[in-house]
Amino acid sequence: MGRKKQLAILGSTGSIGTQALEVISEHPDLFEVYVLTAGHNVKLLIEQARKYTPEAVVIADTSLYAELQEALSDLPIKVYAGSDAIAQIVEAAPIDMVLTAMMGYAGLYPTIRAIKAGKAIALANKETLVVAGELITRLAVENKVPIIPVDSEHSAIFQCLAGENNSPVEKVILTASGGPFRTMSKEELKNVTKNEALKHPNWKMGAKITIDSASMMNKGFEVIEAKWLFGVTPEQIEVVVHPQSIVHSMVQFSDGAIKAQLGLPNMKLPIQYAFAFPHRLPSNDPKPELPHYATLTFEQPDTEKFPLLGFAFEAMRQGGNMPCILNAANEIVVDAFLHDRIAFTDMPRVIARTMEQATFIATPTYDDYVATDTEARRITKDLLV
Protein backbone atom coordinates (compact mmCIF):
# COMPACT_ATOMS: atom_id res chain seq x y z
CA MET A 1 0.00 0.00 0.00
CA GLY A 2 3.06 2.29 -0.24
CA ARG A 3 3.56 5.10 2.27
CA LYS A 4 1.44 5.41 5.38
CA LYS A 5 -2.04 6.71 4.67
CA GLN A 6 -2.55 10.06 6.43
CA LEU A 7 -5.93 10.16 8.19
CA ALA A 8 -8.05 12.96 9.60
CA ILE A 9 -10.43 11.66 12.27
CA LEU A 10 -13.36 14.05 12.71
CA GLY A 11 -15.03 13.12 15.98
CA SER A 12 -12.12 11.17 17.45
CA THR A 13 -13.57 10.99 20.98
CA GLY A 14 -16.86 9.35 19.96
CA SER A 15 -17.60 5.64 19.54
CA ILE A 16 -16.52 5.48 15.87
CA GLY A 17 -13.50 7.72 16.41
CA THR A 18 -12.10 5.71 19.32
CA GLN A 19 -12.53 2.44 17.39
CA ALA A 20 -10.85 4.01 14.36
CA LEU A 21 -7.84 4.82 16.53
CA GLU A 22 -7.75 1.18 17.66
CA VAL A 23 -7.58 0.14 13.99
CA ILE A 24 -4.72 2.58 13.42
CA SER A 25 -2.90 1.22 16.49
CA GLU A 26 -3.20 -2.32 15.12
CA HIS A 27 -1.76 -1.29 11.72
CA PRO A 28 0.85 1.40 12.50
CA ASP A 29 2.82 0.45 9.39
CA LEU A 30 -0.13 1.43 7.16
CA PHE A 31 -1.93 4.33 8.81
CA GLU A 32 -0.97 7.54 10.56
CA VAL A 33 -3.10 10.14 12.31
CA TYR A 34 -2.70 13.60 10.80
CA VAL A 35 -5.62 15.39 12.49
CA LEU A 36 -7.86 14.67 15.47
CA THR A 37 -10.99 16.72 16.18
CA ALA A 38 -13.55 16.63 18.97
CA GLY A 39 -16.59 18.58 20.10
CA HIS A 40 -16.33 18.99 23.88
CA ASN A 41 -14.44 16.00 25.31
CA VAL A 42 -11.15 17.84 25.78
CA LYS A 43 -9.76 15.36 28.34
CA LEU A 44 -9.96 12.40 25.95
CA LEU A 45 -8.72 14.50 23.03
CA ILE A 46 -5.64 15.41 25.07
CA GLU A 47 -5.02 11.72 25.84
CA GLN A 48 -5.39 10.80 22.18
CA ALA A 49 -3.12 13.62 21.02
CA ARG A 50 -0.37 12.59 23.45
CA LYS A 51 -0.61 8.98 22.28
CA TYR A 52 -0.81 9.53 18.50
CA THR A 53 1.03 12.91 18.18
CA PRO A 54 -0.92 14.16 15.14
CA GLU A 55 0.13 17.20 13.18
CA ALA A 56 -2.90 19.10 14.53
CA VAL A 57 -5.87 18.86 16.88
CA VAL A 58 -9.08 20.88 16.86
CA ILE A 59 -11.68 21.29 19.60
CA ALA A 60 -15.04 22.61 18.37
CA ASP A 61 -15.84 24.23 21.74
CA THR A 62 -13.72 27.39 21.70
CA SER A 63 -13.99 27.79 25.48
CA LEU A 64 -11.76 24.71 25.83
CA TYR A 65 -8.97 25.99 23.58
CA ALA A 66 -6.72 27.29 26.37
CA GLU A 67 -6.96 24.02 28.31
CA LEU A 68 -6.10 21.99 25.19
CA GLN A 69 -3.22 24.26 24.20
CA GLU A 70 -1.73 24.22 27.69
CA ALA A 71 -1.94 20.43 27.98
CA LEU A 72 -0.12 19.92 24.66
CA SER A 73 2.37 22.80 24.95
CA ASP A 74 5.32 20.43 25.31
CA LEU A 75 4.52 18.68 22.02
CA PRO A 76 4.93 19.91 18.41
CA ILE A 77 1.17 19.69 17.77
CA LYS A 78 -0.77 22.60 16.26
CA VAL A 79 -3.87 23.42 18.33
CA TYR A 80 -7.00 25.05 16.92
CA ALA A 81 -10.58 25.63 18.04
CA GLY A 82 -13.99 26.26 16.50
CA SER A 83 -16.13 24.71 13.78
CA ASP A 84 -14.48 26.83 11.07
CA ALA A 85 -11.08 25.42 12.05
CA ILE A 86 -12.43 21.87 11.63
CA ALA A 87 -13.71 22.73 8.16
CA GLN A 88 -10.37 24.28 7.19
CA ILE A 89 -8.05 21.61 8.58
CA VAL A 90 -9.53 18.85 6.37
CA GLU A 91 -8.06 20.66 3.35
CA ALA A 92 -4.47 20.15 4.55
CA ALA A 93 -2.39 18.80 1.67
CA PRO A 94 -0.91 15.67 3.35
CA ILE A 95 -4.35 14.23 4.28
CA ASP A 96 -5.33 11.21 2.17
CA MET A 97 -8.64 10.29 3.80
CA VAL A 98 -11.11 11.99 6.13
CA LEU A 99 -13.19 9.87 8.49
CA THR A 100 -16.33 11.90 9.15
CA ALA A 101 -17.52 10.60 12.52
CA MET A 102 -18.84 13.86 13.94
CA MET A 103 -22.34 13.65 15.33
CA GLY A 104 -25.31 15.12 13.49
CA TYR A 105 -25.67 18.05 11.12
CA ALA A 106 -22.29 19.48 12.23
CA GLY A 107 -20.56 16.93 10.00
CA LEU A 108 -21.99 18.32 6.75
CA TYR A 109 -19.83 21.40 6.11
CA PRO A 110 -16.43 19.78 6.88
CA THR A 111 -17.37 16.90 4.57
CA ILE A 112 -18.15 19.35 1.76
CA ARG A 113 -14.80 21.10 2.29
CA ALA A 114 -12.94 17.77 2.31
CA ILE A 115 -14.60 16.63 -0.92
CA LYS A 116 -13.81 19.92 -2.65
CA ALA A 117 -10.19 19.47 -1.52
CA GLY A 118 -10.13 16.04 -3.22
CA LYS A 119 -9.90 13.93 -0.03
CA ALA A 120 -11.27 10.39 0.03
CA ILE A 121 -14.18 10.16 2.48
CA ALA A 122 -14.81 7.36 4.97
CA LEU A 123 -18.39 8.27 5.80
CA ALA A 124 -19.69 7.50 9.28
CA ASN A 125 -21.85 10.62 9.63
CA LYS A 126 -25.34 9.62 8.44
CA GLU A 127 -26.68 13.14 8.48
CA THR A 128 -24.35 14.31 5.68
CA LEU A 129 -26.21 12.28 3.04
CA VAL A 130 -29.59 12.50 4.79
CA VAL A 131 -29.51 16.31 4.78
CA ALA A 132 -27.78 16.99 1.47
CA GLY A 133 -27.41 13.73 -0.45
CA GLU A 134 -27.90 15.28 -3.88
CA LEU A 135 -25.29 17.98 -3.25
CA ILE A 136 -22.74 15.59 -1.70
CA THR A 137 -22.98 12.96 -4.45
CA ARG A 138 -22.70 15.62 -7.16
CA LEU A 139 -19.61 17.14 -5.52
CA ALA A 140 -18.04 13.69 -5.13
CA VAL A 141 -18.46 13.03 -8.87
CA GLU A 142 -17.20 16.48 -9.85
CA ASN A 143 -14.10 16.14 -7.65
CA LYS A 144 -13.55 12.44 -8.43
CA VAL A 145 -13.67 11.63 -4.71
CA PRO A 146 -14.62 8.16 -3.43
CA ILE A 147 -17.15 7.97 -0.60
CA ILE A 148 -16.65 4.70 1.26
CA PRO A 149 -19.41 3.94 3.77
CA VAL A 150 -18.50 3.08 7.36
CA ASP A 151 -22.00 2.37 8.70
CA SER A 152 -22.09 -1.41 9.14
CA GLU A 153 -25.16 -1.75 6.90
CA HIS A 154 -23.84 0.34 4.04
CA SER A 155 -20.40 -1.19 4.36
CA ALA A 156 -22.08 -4.59 4.02
CA ILE A 157 -23.85 -3.52 0.81
CA PHE A 158 -20.62 -1.97 -0.49
CA GLN A 159 -18.81 -5.25 0.18
CA CYS A 160 -21.57 -7.29 -1.49
CA LEU A 161 -21.30 -5.15 -4.62
CA ALA A 162 -17.50 -5.45 -4.82
CA GLY A 163 -16.50 -7.45 -7.87
CA GLU A 164 -20.01 -7.50 -9.33
CA ASN A 165 -19.03 -5.31 -12.29
CA ASN A 166 -22.31 -3.39 -12.41
CA SER A 167 -24.51 -6.50 -12.21
CA PRO A 168 -28.16 -5.31 -12.19
CA VAL A 169 -29.35 -4.79 -8.62
CA GLU A 170 -33.00 -5.56 -7.90
CA LYS A 171 -32.92 -4.27 -4.34
CA VAL A 172 -30.74 -3.58 -1.32
CA ILE A 173 -31.92 -5.07 1.96
CA LEU A 174 -30.96 -3.21 5.12
CA THR A 175 -31.11 -5.20 8.34
CA ALA A 176 -32.24 -3.69 11.64
CA SER A 177 -31.85 -5.18 15.10
CA GLY A 178 -35.25 -3.86 16.13
CA GLY A 179 -33.68 -2.17 19.15
CA PRO A 180 -34.61 -2.66 22.80
CA PHE A 181 -38.37 -2.21 22.26
CA ARG A 182 -38.95 -4.62 19.37
CA THR A 183 -41.30 -6.92 21.33
CA MET A 184 -43.16 -4.19 23.23
CA SER A 185 -46.73 -3.20 22.43
CA LYS A 186 -47.66 0.29 21.27
CA GLU A 187 -49.23 0.88 24.69
CA GLU A 188 -46.08 -0.20 26.55
CA LEU A 189 -43.94 2.20 24.50
CA LYS A 190 -45.74 5.18 26.05
CA ASN A 191 -43.96 4.64 29.36
CA VAL A 192 -40.42 3.71 28.31
CA THR A 193 -37.58 5.71 29.86
CA LYS A 194 -34.38 7.07 28.36
CA ASN A 195 -32.37 4.56 30.40
CA GLU A 196 -34.33 1.71 28.85
CA ALA A 197 -33.91 3.22 25.40
CA LEU A 198 -30.15 3.51 25.91
CA LYS A 199 -29.77 -0.25 26.52
CA HIS A 200 -29.26 -1.55 23.00
CA PRO A 201 -29.35 -5.36 22.91
CA ASN A 202 -26.41 -5.80 20.52
CA TRP A 203 -24.46 -2.64 19.75
CA LYS A 204 -22.46 -0.24 21.90
CA MET A 205 -22.96 3.25 20.47
CA GLY A 206 -23.27 6.89 21.51
CA ALA A 207 -26.46 8.14 23.18
CA LYS A 208 -28.00 9.90 20.18
CA ILE A 209 -27.60 7.02 17.73
CA THR A 210 -28.80 4.55 20.39
CA ILE A 211 -32.05 6.50 20.81
CA ASP A 212 -32.39 6.66 17.02
CA SER A 213 -31.97 2.90 16.92
CA ALA A 214 -34.70 2.44 19.55
CA SER A 215 -37.12 4.60 17.52
CA MET A 216 -35.95 3.11 14.18
CA MET A 217 -35.13 6.63 12.98
CA ASN A 218 -31.56 5.39 12.57
CA LYS A 219 -32.77 2.83 10.02
CA GLY A 220 -34.79 5.53 8.30
CA PHE A 221 -31.67 7.63 7.91
CA GLU A 222 -29.83 4.61 6.54
CA VAL A 223 -32.58 4.13 3.95
CA ILE A 224 -32.04 7.71 2.71
CA GLU A 225 -28.26 7.20 2.73
CA ALA A 226 -28.59 4.02 0.68
CA LYS A 227 -30.46 5.89 -2.06
CA TRP A 228 -27.53 8.23 -2.57
CA LEU A 229 -24.67 5.80 -1.94
CA PHE A 230 -25.89 3.11 -4.30
CA GLY A 231 -28.03 5.02 -6.80
CA VAL A 232 -31.22 3.07 -6.06
CA THR A 233 -34.84 4.20 -5.95
CA PRO A 234 -37.00 4.12 -2.79
CA GLU A 235 -38.77 1.08 -4.26
CA GLN A 236 -35.44 -0.78 -4.40
CA ILE A 237 -34.77 -0.40 -0.68
CA GLU A 238 -36.16 -2.88 1.82
CA VAL A 239 -35.75 -3.03 5.60
CA VAL A 240 -35.95 -6.29 7.53
CA VAL A 241 -35.64 -6.75 11.28
CA HIS A 242 -32.88 -9.20 12.15
CA PRO A 243 -32.56 -9.38 15.96
CA GLN A 244 -29.27 -11.33 15.98
CA SER A 245 -27.35 -8.52 14.18
CA ILE A 246 -25.07 -11.01 12.39
CA VAL A 247 -26.24 -10.35 8.81
CA HIS A 248 -25.37 -6.68 8.38
CA SER A 249 -27.20 -6.18 5.07
CA MET A 250 -27.83 -7.86 1.73
CA VAL A 251 -28.10 -7.21 -1.99
CA GLN A 252 -30.58 -8.99 -4.24
CA PHE A 253 -29.60 -9.12 -7.90
CA SER A 254 -31.90 -9.34 -10.90
CA ASP A 255 -31.35 -13.10 -11.24
CA GLY A 256 -32.73 -13.66 -7.74
CA ALA A 257 -29.39 -14.26 -6.03
CA ILE A 258 -28.94 -12.60 -2.63
CA LYS A 259 -25.48 -11.80 -1.28
CA ALA A 260 -25.11 -11.05 2.43
CA GLN A 261 -22.22 -9.83 4.57
CA LEU A 262 -22.01 -11.45 8.01
CA GLY A 263 -19.96 -10.47 11.03
CA LEU A 264 -20.14 -9.76 14.73
CA PRO A 265 -21.70 -6.43 15.79
CA ASN A 266 -18.36 -4.60 15.86
CA MET A 267 -17.66 -1.35 14.01
CA LYS A 268 -13.93 -1.97 13.69
CA LEU A 269 -14.41 -4.22 10.66
CA PRO A 270 -16.21 -1.61 8.49
CA ILE A 271 -13.81 1.12 9.67
CA GLN A 272 -10.78 -1.00 8.76
CA TYR A 273 -12.35 -1.99 5.42
CA ALA A 274 -12.88 1.69 4.54
CA PHE A 275 -9.34 2.68 5.54
CA ALA A 276 -7.69 -0.13 3.59
CA PHE A 277 -10.04 -0.43 0.59
CA PRO A 278 -9.62 -2.20 -1.83
CA HIS A 279 -7.45 -4.39 0.42
CA ARG A 280 -8.53 -6.56 3.35
CA LEU A 281 -6.35 -6.54 6.44
CA PRO A 282 -6.02 -9.19 9.15
CA SER A 283 -7.79 -8.62 12.46
CA ASN A 284 -7.32 -10.14 15.89
CA ASP A 285 -10.86 -9.29 16.95
CA PRO A 286 -13.31 -12.16 17.62
CA LYS A 287 -14.85 -13.65 14.50
CA PRO A 288 -18.32 -15.21 14.19
CA GLU A 289 -18.55 -18.95 14.81
CA LEU A 290 -21.60 -20.01 12.87
CA PRO A 291 -22.59 -22.96 15.10
CA HIS A 292 -23.23 -20.36 17.83
CA TYR A 293 -25.92 -18.86 15.58
CA ALA A 294 -28.11 -21.84 14.78
CA THR A 295 -31.06 -19.52 14.15
CA LEU A 296 -30.98 -16.31 12.11
CA THR A 297 -34.43 -14.74 11.85
CA PHE A 298 -35.92 -11.97 9.72
CA GLU A 299 -39.22 -10.14 10.08
CA GLN A 300 -41.06 -7.13 8.72
CA PRO A 301 -40.60 -3.86 10.65
CA ASP A 302 -43.72 -2.54 12.41
CA THR A 303 -44.13 1.02 11.10
CA GLU A 304 -47.26 1.54 13.21
CA LYS A 305 -45.23 1.07 16.37
CA PHE A 306 -42.18 2.78 14.89
CA PRO A 307 -43.57 5.43 12.49
CA LEU A 308 -40.26 7.28 12.04
CA LEU A 309 -39.10 4.62 9.58
CA GLY A 310 -42.13 5.42 7.45
CA PHE A 311 -41.43 9.15 7.79
CA ALA A 312 -37.96 8.58 6.31
CA PHE A 313 -39.37 6.78 3.26
CA GLU A 314 -41.88 9.62 2.82
CA ALA A 315 -39.16 12.30 3.14
CA MET A 316 -37.03 10.43 0.61
CA ARG A 317 -39.92 10.23 -1.86
CA GLN A 318 -40.66 13.95 -1.47
CA GLY A 319 -36.98 14.78 -1.86
CA GLY A 320 -35.78 18.38 -1.85
CA ASN A 321 -35.10 19.65 1.66
CA MET A 322 -37.61 17.34 3.38
CA PRO A 323 -34.94 14.91 4.67
CA CYS A 324 -33.10 17.96 6.08
CA ILE A 325 -36.30 18.99 7.92
CA LEU A 326 -36.71 15.44 9.23
CA ASN A 327 -33.13 15.33 10.50
CA ALA A 328 -33.27 18.72 12.23
CA ALA A 329 -36.54 17.91 13.98
CA ASN A 330 -35.20 14.53 15.07
CA GLU A 331 -32.02 16.00 16.57
CA ILE A 332 -34.14 18.37 18.70
CA VAL A 333 -36.65 15.75 19.92
CA VAL A 334 -33.92 13.21 20.74
CA ASP A 335 -32.14 15.82 22.85
CA ALA A 336 -35.46 16.64 24.54
CA PHE A 337 -36.10 12.95 25.24
CA LEU A 338 -32.61 12.54 26.71
CA HIS A 339 -33.38 15.49 29.03
CA ASP A 340 -36.79 14.06 30.07
CA ARG A 341 -38.73 16.82 28.31
CA ILE A 342 -40.73 14.59 25.97
CA ALA A 343 -42.10 11.05 25.97
CA PHE A 344 -40.69 8.44 23.58
CA THR A 345 -44.00 8.12 21.73
CA ASP A 346 -44.37 11.91 21.40
CA MET A 347 -41.24 12.24 19.26
CA PRO A 348 -42.98 11.15 16.00
CA ARG A 349 -45.91 13.52 16.63
CA VAL A 350 -43.60 16.55 16.98
CA ILE A 351 -41.48 15.54 13.98
CA ALA A 352 -44.61 15.09 11.81
CA ARG A 353 -45.84 18.57 12.70
CA THR A 354 -42.43 20.08 11.90
CA MET A 355 -42.46 18.36 8.50
CA GLU A 356 -45.89 19.89 7.85
CA GLN A 357 -44.96 23.41 8.95
CA ALA A 358 -41.42 23.89 7.62
CA THR A 359 -40.90 25.51 4.21
CA PHE A 360 -40.50 22.91 1.46
CA ILE A 361 -37.87 23.59 -1.22
CA ALA A 362 -37.79 21.18 -4.16
CA THR A 363 -34.26 22.00 -5.40
CA PRO A 364 -32.29 23.37 -2.43
CA THR A 365 -28.84 24.95 -2.54
CA TYR A 366 -26.34 24.63 0.31
CA ASP A 367 -27.60 27.94 1.73
CA ASP A 368 -31.15 26.57 1.58
CA TYR A 369 -30.07 23.55 3.65
CA VAL A 370 -28.55 25.86 6.26
CA ALA A 371 -31.73 27.97 6.40
CA THR A 372 -33.94 24.86 6.49
CA ASP A 373 -31.98 23.38 9.37
CA THR A 374 -32.36 26.61 11.36
CA GLU A 375 -36.08 26.95 10.60
CA ALA A 376 -36.91 23.30 11.36
CA ARG A 377 -35.07 23.42 14.69
CA ARG A 378 -36.94 26.60 15.67
CA ILE A 379 -40.32 25.08 14.76
CA THR A 380 -39.56 21.88 16.70
CA LYS A 381 -38.43 23.80 19.77
CA ASP A 382 -41.61 25.89 19.65
CA LEU A 383 -43.69 22.71 19.48
CA LEU A 384 -41.94 21.38 22.59
CA VAL A 385 -42.87 24.41 24.71
- The CATH code of the domain that includes 350 is 1.10.1740.10
> What residues pair up with 97 in beta bridges, in sequence order?
7, 120
In a domain, 352, yes or no: yes
CA–CA separation, 358 and 353 (whole Å): 9
pLDDT tens sequence across 136-173: 999 999 999 999 999 999 999 999 999 998 899 999 99
Residues 30 and 126 in one domain: yes
Residues 180 and 295 in one domain: yes
- The CATH code of the domain that includes 132 is 3.40.50.720
In a domain, 278, yes or no: no
Residues 290 and 184 in one domain: yes
Last residue in a domain, options 302, 327, 355:
302
Last residue in a domain, options 149, 164, 183:
149
In a domain, 270, yes or no: no
Residues 99 and 74 in one domain: yes
- State pTM to two decimals: 0.92
Could you tell me the CA-to-CA distances from 172 to 153, 179, 232 in Å, in that order?
10, 21, 8
In a domain, 271, yes or no: no
Query: HSE on the CB side for 263, CA within 13 Å?
Result: 21
Last residue in a domain, options 302, 331, 366:
302
In a domain, 312, yes or no: no
CA–CA separation, 210 and 225 (whole Å): 18
Range of the domain at 193: 154-265+286-302
Domain count, the chain: 3
SS3 252: strand
pLDDT tens sequence across 219-273: 999 999 999 999 999 999 999 999 999 999 999 999 999 999 999 988 999 999 9
pLDDT of residue 203: 64
Residues 47 and 112 in one domain: yes
